[in-house]
Each structure stands twice: as structure tokens, then as C-alpha cells.
Chain A
């Protein structure tokens, strides 16, 4: 049944490109919207029993082992939300109907890739879906065919290629000692050959590849440039979900279900996570471009997730996945606000902005909610996930890292407050008198995402019961 998550977007893609293309150009948006809403409804409403039903119409052609556990559920939910946000943004930002049509197609492709990644139970399948999502994102980055976008797409292509090389090398090593690439095969093989160099090298290389995709220091060089170069609706998708799933989720899967926790790699991962937090936050302090600042902020927040991942305890993994979800929501929210500003003011330079919340109240207010969540202020969602991460670090004995994570929240607050003050608060810059609030799509998206952030934070006990505790049960320590 979970296979439908891949098959439905595929079907939609096919349908859209059938002969009756002309008719579908206008309706593409609504079809895409329908698919995404269906995905969200499925995650929210369907009882788990239905997930396990085996339904594979194409069973005769290929065998695809797909199952949904608690982590995958969170990922699918996040994918649905961010895709929804992107679609609504693009509706307003892309003017030509033909381009909108292409955009919906690419979005479907991304959905296929990311859903497949969430469902995969085999290393090579994961790699396959990473590439599917990556190809779609290359095109999305260069969507406007402007020089900056093309350069950004090329940069992403190059670094993804680097990451692919590392992952494929690791895969070949895995086949060498495990004889197969499915989780079921690799897991016991690693346990049996624990400590031997093929297993460790494979893990190290795969981790490096995943770290490049997630944008962790020092593998992050491409990230600020690419986020800035991409059109804002693509940045929402990239920052909100693509980087996360193809990078961070892969790492989580590696550690939880495949290789288990190796203390040395864990130490390296924790250190790199901490370095990301620090460097991302410091770099964000003096940025002049709005999207670049948000990009560095992403690096910093991903650092938190990686830090928790390296810690390895069940609470830490649960915190990491929860922060993954929260970050998807608030980072998308912030990029949606950036989209609103770009649409209305047509600049991303912070120096040219000022006092915007007088003219764009919804954007201003929702950006406040977004950054408060990022900084970890109660009762918003970000507070709970950060709290879980810090508590998990403390309980695992990593008090130094815990204190560091706590203090880094000060830096987060610093750059976000500075951003907020310079862009939204204060006196309106003289040239911006004619600016009005963004279109209904963008503001609706912003409001929805803000409501989710606030709702998850306030109704945390329910979220805890439903989503977080099952994750804890998944993690089995060696």
C-alpha cells in the first residue's frame, strides 16, 4: 500500500504528459495539488494496518520491498508539507502557464524520488531515488535559465556527482563483504564483520557522501551558493526537503537500520555537527543577502540534527527526527517569506529592506514565528526538538556538547533577531512605500506553516505520543 506513494505521482506524471497535454496545462496545478493533499491525508488519516497491505500492481515486473516505519512516516509527512508549500508559492511566482506545467512535472518527479527514498529498504534503491530527486532539482535550480541559476545548478551537479562517487564506492565495498545491498543482508554482515576495514571504509565513504548531500561543514561549500542561485520556490523545496531527505535521512537510516552505531564514526559525526552549528551561525551574522543568510541558518540547524545523530541514544535519534520535521516546516516558512519579499520588492539584499512589516504584516508575523521556532523558544515546536536533543546529549554524558548546543541558541537568536530587525521592524525604507502584501497563495502557505509550528509546539504531548515515541522504539543500541 505504501508503494502508492511512489506510484500515484508517477501516474500523475504520465497522465500530465499524455497527448492531451494542452488541456492539462491549466489544470496541472490542481492535479498536483490533489496528489500532494492525498499524500498528506494518507499520512494523517490512514491507520497503520493499511500500510502493511501488500499492494504491488507491478509485482510481476519488479519486486520492491517497501515498508513504513515511524521515521519514514515523519519523512513522508514532511515531504508532503513542503511540496504543498512549494506548489502554492510557485503558483504565484511563475507567471507563464507553460512553465507552471513544467514545474508541476518536476515536482512530481521530486515526490517520486523522495517518497521512494523514504520507503526504500535497500541501499542501492536509496541511491537510485537520491539520483531521481537530484536530477529534478538540477533542472529546478536552473528553472529561470538565468546565469546565476545555471551556475548554481552546475555547482549542485558537480557536488552531487562527488557524493554519488563516494556512495557508489561504498556500495561496491558493501557488496564485497555482504553479498547484497538490502538492509536485511547488510545488517548481519556488518555485525559479523564488525571492525574489519571493508565495513568501516564502506561506512565512512557512505557517510561522507551523505554529508555532502546534507551540507554539513566542511562538506557544505555548495550550499549557500546553490540556495541563493535557485529561484525561491525551488529554494523552499531544496532547503525544506531535498537536502534533508537525500542527506540527513540517509544518514539516519544508515545508523539506525544498516550499519549500527560505530563509536569512532559517531565521534566524527558529532564533531562535524557541532562545527556546522558554530560556523553556520557565525557566518549568518553578517550576511547581506536574505536567502544566503537562510542557507547558512540551514547549515546550522542541520548541525543540530547531525549532532544528535552522532550521539546515538534513542532519545537523541527521536530528537533528531523531530528536529528534522520542525526544520522542514520553519525553514520552508522562512523561505516562503523570502519568496513573498522577492515577489513584492524584487530584491533580496537586506540593506535595501527595512520596516516591511508595516506593509506586509502577515509575512512579518509569520517570519517571527519561524525564527522563534528556529531559535528554540517555547512554546513553539523548535523548542521541544532542541530540548530533546540537548537532554539526550546530557544524558549520554556529552555535557560539553550539550552546553555548546545550548549556547549556540544565543547565536541563532542573534542573527535571526538582527535579520528581523533589519528587514521587518523599524522604519519603512522610503522606496518601499508602494509595497503590498503578497498574493493569497504565498500568505496562505505562510499561515499554514506557522500554524503547524505553533500547533506542534503547543500540542506537543500528542505529537510525542503519535510520532516521537515510536521512533524511540526503533532504535536498538548495540
Chain B
């Protein structure tokens, strides 16, 4: 029964927050913090356990089954940690913003739903919690601004469609395995299993935010309240999406490295890395840039898991938690900048490093982690992914490394444009409820890097189990020296590129303009600005076309029944009326005609 607590506590707290009147100062923040802390405590307590819970639910094999194994415990811990950090951060960020009740409520609800989804042992139960996140996401985005409803709808539709694929995949999986209990499913690959896997994969990677399901994230970065960005796309959704991807790759389906599913995942991962980071490179808004990076980093995770070799899977999962850490930290710094400087437009920022030193420090740590600078955590997880990618094909390795190059370039640009330069007056450091989470998460980034044996041994490697690890242990420095050298070369190259750009164009913001306006790339970027490539917009245009065609056909049918048929009838009626003029002779002629007709037929 203890397994129900991580779900019930935040859910009830979330509902309770809705009931708190706005006048009760700080009461809702208190409730939120207490609930988050409690969940954190529960996560710690549950961590070493292995529990199951089974309650009857809907019949037909759909029972309310929960299970706590090492993977679930890992995600539970991560989700609780991020929930608490963001809750603390939000107390300062949402101060003075209206509809705070709803915000905290949705926040707690998201934590409850994520907990339910990772604990679920029955596919339908998991689907129930998974889809529930759609509502929390929609609600949270909508709170950002009055115009945010369009982005909220867009996110809802994109994730909703991928959730439909997920539903289809779950249906097929249940059919193939003849059961819906996740711990009992293990399906070998076959044509139908491949289709089911692809459907499930679409659901998982869309939640995590990979291409082509990503287009709502940059829009939400501008429209939604910032803590939403930090908690959902950056951390919780990645945790959930990659968790499920891991589950289906490792447990539910017996994936082998040679299968074309593996290649599919690797290609999707590689393309996501590259395209997203190219888009991130040219952004001129702090939050949008970070949003595109969030998309890009998912590519590493998918690539890692897709390699189906132990190094890759470990790397992918480790990257998942690392990314959640540094990405949320980066978003939190963005929020601090937004709150203190009043804008996130990079052209208007500058010199914040002197005014907000602690924020700048957290930013530096997180940026270094995301670029893969040793000895931070990003370096280690990326090295594992490089290792696996190289093992599966040099082209994947090239894509991953290229992504790192552009990542570094864009963060150099971001840091330079926002924090470097003359000291800015009138801007103070962020308040402590915002600083504490940032610094704490940055500290964890450092710890996960320097002491990476702890997360790897306690969190990630237990997921694979001894059999799959094939006896390898990935803690400590990477063994392949070639990879380390390549990484350093790439980072140095990025730094030099940045210096070149600054010298050529004069400011940190324009440091990558030589890439932006390069001959082939310029047209592509212009098209992206005009939203030519957004699948959502294209889908909307198609739906509009179908609707117009249907309307036109309906008009035609209406015209036939309302104009043509009655018109013809009335016209003939008037003609007949005119013909019956009362003239005897005319009538007698008619009789003659009729008579001839009868006689003709009689004697034919």
C-alpha cells in the first residue's frame, strides 16, 4: 500500500491547493513545499525496496498494478527531487503573478501523474497516468499569458496524437503478449511486434520531445510560465519518456543490435541532435535557445538507447538524469534573468555576470555540463554515448560530435550575450528561493561528474542488471582515449569559432552569424523562421483544406436540393399552367395526339 503514497500525496495536495483562497498569504506555497518534501522523503524511503501492489480495477486483464523496481525507484527519486526544487523556485517566481493556485495545483498533479506512470505495472494504468499529464501540461501552458492558449492547444494536439499512437502500440502489445502486466511481457521481434514497438516508441519520444514532435516546446518557452519549462519539458517529461523507451527496449521487447528498429532509433536520435542544435544556434531569445537545446539533448538519449549495446544504454540513461539536472538548472537561470532584468531578449541583455554572480556561476556549471566539458556530468554520459555510437557506426559518432560542437558554440554565444560585457546597473541578484535550487542542482551536476560511480552504480547500472552489462563497469574515466581527445579538440574548436565570430561581427550575440548566414543554411533558416517545416502547422493547413473541400461538397448538395430540383419543378409547373389556356381546339388536338398514341401502340 505504501506504493500508493507517492501518487496520492501530491494529488491530494494539488487538489487542496485549488481550494485555498488567494488571500491566505503563503499558505499554498507552504502546502506545495510540504507536499514536495514529503514526496522526496517517500522516494528516499522507497528506494531500496522492491514492492508490488495489485488491486482489481477494470476487468479484462486491466488491474491496478504497481511495481517498484530499480528503474522505477530511480525515476521516482529524480521526479521528487525536481518537483521539490521547482516548487521552491516557483515560490519566488510566481510571486505577484495571478492564478498561482492553479499553477501549484498543476505542478503537484504532474508529480503525482509521473509517479503513477513510473510505478505502473499494467500498460493501461500507465497509459492512464501518461495521458493525465496532457491535462497538466495544457493547464500549465495556458497560465502563461492570454495568448498562450494557442500554444497550449498545439502542445495538446501534438502530444495527444502521439499518445494515440501509444494507445495503438499498447493495444498491439497486449494482443501480442496476451497480457497487459508489464513485468510479464517479453516479446521477440516479428513484423507485428515491430509495428507495435514503433507505435510505442513514437509515444515515448514525443513525450520526451524529439523531432518531429518537438515544435511546441520552443513556442511554450515563450508563452508558458518559466517554471513549467523547467519542470515539464526539461525534467519530468524527459524522465518519463526515456523511462518508457528504456522499458520497451530493455524489457518489453527483445531488441537486438542488428534489428532495423535499432537503426531507426539511432537515426531519429542523430537527426534530432543535429537539426535541433542547428536551430538553437540562431535563436535570439534566451528561453527559446534553451528549448531547442532540450530537444537536441533528447537525441543523445535516444541514440544511446538505440545502440542496444551496454555502453550506449547506460550512457543514454545517465544522460537522461544529467540532462534533467543541467537543463532545469539552465531554465532556472533563465527565469532568474527574466525576473530580475525583465526580459529574455538577448539583444537587450548583457553584463549580467557582474550583477548576478551566483546565477552566473550556476549558469557556467550547467553550460559546461551540457557541452560535455570534463569533469562535469555531461562529459561522462556523452563519452559513453560516443563510445556506443562509434561501435555501431562512425556516422552516428560524427553526428553526436557535431552536435557537441554546435552546442558549445551556442552556449558560448548565450553566455557572452547575456552575462558578459559591461556591468548592468539596476539589476539585483535573484532572491534566495530561486538561488537555492539553482545552486543545489549545479552542485549535484558537479557531484555526478566527479563522483560518477555513485549515480552509475546505484541508479543507472542496476536498471540493466548484471546479465546485460556483460560484466562491464562504466564508472570512472572513459577508457577510450581517442574519444577524450576528440572531445577536447571539438571543444577547443568551438571556442576558437566563437572568438572568430566575435571578432568578425563585434558582439557575443552575433558570434555565430557566419553560420547562420552561410549560403546553403540561410535559406533553410529563413524557411524555419516562417514555420515552413513545422509539422503541426502543415497538419493544420491540411485539416483546413479537408474542411474546405467538405464544405464545398455540402454546398453543392444543398444547391441541388434547394435550388435545382424545386426550380425545375416550378418551371415545369408554370409551363403546364400556361398550356392549359381553356382553348377547346388545343384540348381536342391533345385528344387526337393521345388517341393516335394509343392506336399506334395497339397496332404496332
A residues with CB within 8 A of B:
155, 158-159, 162, 166, 197, 200-201, 203-204, 207-208, 211-212, 217-222, 224-225, 262, 264-265, 267-269, 272, 279, 282-287, 411, 414
A-B contact pairs, 15 of them (CB 8 A): A207-B598, A211-B598, A212-B591, A217-B594, A219-B590, A219-B591, A224-B580, A264-B601, A264-B602, A279-B576, A282-B569, A283-B573, A283-B576, A285-B573, A286-B570
Interface residues on B, range: 20 to 34
Known: A218-B594, A224-B580, A272-B594. A200 touches B574 (CB 8 A): no
Smallest distance from the beta carbon of A49 to chain B beta carbons, Å? Answer: 41
Smallest distance from the beta carbon of A28 to chain B beta carbons, Å? Answer: 35
* CB-defined contacts of A264 to chain B, threshold 8 Å: 601-602, 604
Alpha-carbon separation in the docked complex, A225 to B586 (Å): 13
Alpha-carbon separation in the docked complex, A221 to B584 (Å): 8
Contact assessment for A221 and B587 in the assembled complex, using a CB-CB cutoff below 8 Å: yes
Known: A162-B591, A221-B590, A264-B602. A155 touches B584 (CB 8 A): yes
Alpha-carbon separation in the docked complex, A262 to B570 (Å): 37
Contact assessment for A197 and B584 in the assembled complex, using a CB-CB cutoff below 8 Å: no
Alpha-carbon separation in the docked complex, A200 to B601 (Å): 10
Alpha-carbon separation in the docked complex, A212 to B593 (Å): 12
Contact assessment for B590 and A218 in the assembled complex, using a CB-CB cutoff below 8 Å: yes
Alpha-carbon separation in the docked complex, A217 to B580 (Å): 12
Alpha-carbon separation in the docked complex, A268 to B602 (Å): 8
Contact assessment for B577 and A287 in the assembled complex, using a CB-CB cutoff below 8 Å: yes
Instruction: Report the nearest A residue to B583, measured CB to CB.
Output: A221
The interface residues of chain A, by DSSP majority, are classed as helix
Interface residue? B425 (CB, 8 A): no
Specify which of A200, A212, A282, A286 is in contact with B602 (CB 8 Å cutoff).
A200
Interface residue? B523 (CB, 8 A): no
Specify which of A221, A262, A269, A286 is in contact with B574 (CB 8 Å cutoff).
A286
Interface residue? B572 (CB, 8 A): yes
Instruction: Report the nearest A residue to B597, measured CB to CB.
Output: A268
Contact assessment for B601 and A265 in the assembled complex, using a CB-CB cutoff below 8 Å: yes
Alpha-carbon separation in the docked complex, A211 to B596 (Å): 13
Alpha-carbon separation in the docked complex, A155 to B591 (Å): 14
* CB-defined contacts of A208 to chain B, threshold 8 Å: 591, 594-595, 598-599
Known: A155-B584, A201-B602, A264-B601. A285 touches B570 (CB 8 A): yes
* CB-defined contacts of A220 to chain B, threshold 8 Å: 590
Specify which of A204, A286, A411 is in contact with B598 (CB 8 Å cutoff).
A204
Alpha-carbon separation in the docked complex, A211 to B574 (Å): 25
* CB-defined contacts of B588 to chain A, threshold 8 Å: 162, 221
Interface residue? B519 (CB, 8 A): no
Contact assessment for B569 and A414 in the assembled complex, using a CB-CB cutoff below 8 Å: yes
Smallest distance from the beta carbon of A78 to chain B beta carbons, Å? Answer: 26
* CB-defined contacts of B595 to chain A, threshold 8 Å: 166, 208
Alpha-carbon separation in the docked complex, A411 to B572 (Å): 12
Contact assessment for B602 and A265 in the assembled complex, using a CB-CB cutoff below 8 Å: yes
* CB-defined contacts of A411 to chain B, threshold 8 Å: 569
* CB-defined contacts of B584 to chain A, threshold 8 Å: 155, 158
Given A285-B570, A287-B577, 5 additional A-B pairs, CB 8 A: A159-B587, A218-B593, A222-B587, A282-B569, A286-B577
Alpha-carbon separation in the docked complex, A147 to B258 (Å): 105
Per-residue interface assignment for chain B, residues 422 to 436, with 1 indicating a CB less than 8 Å from any chain A CB and 0 otherwise: 000000000000000
* CB-defined contacts of A267 to chain B, threshold 8 Å: 601
Instruction: Report the nearest B residue to A159, measured CB to CB.
Output: B587
Interface residue? B146 (CB, 8 A): no
Contact assessment for A282 and B573 in the assembled complex, using a CB-CB cutoff below 8 Å: yes
Interface positions of B from 543 to 590, Cβ below 8 Å from A: 569-570, 572-574, 576-577, 580, 582, 584, 586-588, 590
Known: A197-B603, A283-B576, A287-B577. A221 touches B586 (CB 8 A): yes
Instruction: Report the nearest A residue to B593, measured CB to CB.
Output: A218
Smallest distance from the beta carbon of A287 to chain B beta carbons, Å? Answer: 7
Contact assessment for B598 and A221 in the assembled complex, using a CB-CB cutoff below 8 Å: no
Alpha-carbon separation in the docked complex, A211 to B586 (Å): 17
Specify which of A155, A212, A269, A282 is in contact with B576 (CB 8 Å cutoff).
A282
- Chain A to chain B: the 9 pairs with minimum beta-carbon distance, closest first: A221-B587, A285-B573, A218-B590, A268-B601, A218-B594, A283-B576, A286-B573, A204-B602, A282-B573
* CB-defined contacts of B572 to chain A, threshold 8 Å: 282
**Central interface residue in B569, B584, B588, B602, by most chain A CB within 10 Å:** B602
Alpha-carbon separation in the docked complex, A158 to B574 (Å): 27
Smallest distance from the beta carbon of B566 to chain A beta carbons, Å? Answer: 8
* CB-defined contacts of B594 to chain A, threshold 8 Å: 208, 211, 217-219, 272
Alpha-carbon separation in the docked complex, A217 to B590 (Å): 8
Interface positions of B from 89 to 117, Cβ below 8 Å from A: none
Instruction: Report the nearest B residue to A288, measured CB to CB.
Output: B577
Contact assessment for A283 and B577 in the assembled complex, using a CB-CB cutoff below 8 Å: yes
Contact assessment for A218 and B604 in the assembled complex, using a CB-CB cutoff below 8 Å: no
Contact assessment for B580 and A268 in the assembled complex, using a CB-CB cutoff below 8 Å: no
Alpha-carbon separation in the docked complex, A219 to B588 (Å): 8
Smallest distance from the beta carbon of B307 to chain A beta carbons, Å? Answer: 69
* CB-defined contacts of A197 to chain B, threshold 8 Å: 603
Known: A218-B594, A411-B569. A203 touches B587 (CB 8 A): no
Per-residue interface assignment for chain B, residues 355 to 387, with 1 indicating a CB less than 8 Å from any chain A CB and 0 otherwise: 000000000000000000000000000000000
* CB-defined contacts of A272 to chain B, threshold 8 Å: 594, 597-598
* CB-defined contacts of B591 to chain A, threshold 8 Å: 159, 162, 208, 212, 218-219, 221
Contact assessment for A221 and B573 in the assembled complex, using a CB-CB cutoff below 8 Å: no
* CB-defined contacts of A269 to chain B, threshold 8 Å: 598
* CB-defined contacts of B569 to chain A, threshold 8 Å: 282, 285, 411, 414
Smallest distance from the beta carbon of B594 to chain A beta carbons, Å? Answer: 4
* CB-defined contacts of B573 to chain A, threshold 8 Å: 282-286
* CB-defined contacts of A286 to chain B, threshold 8 Å: 570, 573-574, 577
Alpha-carbon separation in the docked complex, A200 to B570 (Å): 39
Alpha-carbon separation in the docked complex, A267 to B602 (Å): 9
* CB-defined contacts of A212 to chain B, threshold 8 Å: 591
* CB-defined contacts of B590 to chain A, threshold 8 Å: 218-221
* CB-defined contacts of B587 to chain A, threshold 8 Å: 159, 221-222
Smallest distance from the beta carbon of B569 to chain A beta carbons, Å? Answer: 6
* CB-defined contacts of A207 to chain B, threshold 8 Å: 598
Instruction: Report the nearest B residue to A200, measured CB to CB.
Output: B602
